[in-house]
Amino acid sequence: MLIQPRPLDPTTAAHERVYRALRSRIMHGEIAPGAALTLRGIGKAYDVSMTPAREAVRRLVAEGALSFSSSGRVSTPALSNDRIEELATLRALLESELASRALPRAHMALIDRLETINNSVSQMIARHDAAGYIRLNLEFHRTLYLRAQAPAMLAMTETVWLQLGPTMCALYGRLNRQEPPHHHKLILAALKAGDEPGLRLAVRADATQGLRMLKA
């Protein structure tokens, strides 16, 4: 007998929609560090009641992307120097390992795709589009790391990106970029050469050097 899927509860559907939309905005730096939000404001922005707004926020709080006070104040974290250092170290560890695991499956079609994404990064820089730059920068890394076939490790990495999203927007303004990250070229060169130590080094430097400029 064929089992029919249970219809999705409307509240659950609304909560998932708000969660995914807010998660994307935070990860791509569209909400500034320390920015204050309210459940009422979130509900109004996404045309939902307080319940799905609250559930979406609770999930993001659990992932470290938001903080939620007893008064109902919601905010993105303004990261301390120690926290920036910790997250930069996590990026270096996780992403260099993901890149290493992806290398045996990094065929020319993947490298061509990465070069196309990197060219799109240049377009975002020319437009001074910080959120677009962050989104495509992460797409560059995610496209490579998917070839690692390590979903748990990639999920952990995306949680780190989520926590860093607002801070990455602040970093973009400080760097005043005129061209794609130099280390992307080194990553692409290492992939073409099959150079695993060089790939690890390039990914580690790309993940950490910019972030550490934010430390006071």
Domain boundaries, the chain: 10-75, 81-212
CB atoms closer than 10 angstroms to residue 36: 11
DSSP 8-state assignment for residue 72 = S
Lowest mean pLDDT among 42-56, 80-94, 155-169, 174-188: 174-188
Mean pLDDT to the nearest integer, 53-78? 87
What single-letter amino acid sits at 100? Answer: S
Domain formed by 81-212, architecture: Up-down Bundle (1.20)
Q: What region does 29 belong to: left with phi over 0, alpha with psi -120 to 50, or beta? A: left
Query: How distant is the alpha carbon of residue 37 from its chain centre?
Result: 20
In the Cβ-directed half-sphere of 56, how many Cα atoms lie within 13 Å? 29
Q: Per this entry, what is the length of the chain?
A: 216
On whether the pTM is more than 0.85, the answer is: yes
More confident residue, 51 or 212: 51
Pick one of 1.10.443.10, 1.10.565.10, 1.10.12.10, 1.10.10.10 as the CATH number of 10-75.
Answer: 1.10.10.10
Tell me the pLDDT of the chain averaged across its residues.
Answer: 88
- pLDDT bucket at 175, cuts 50 / 70 / 90: low
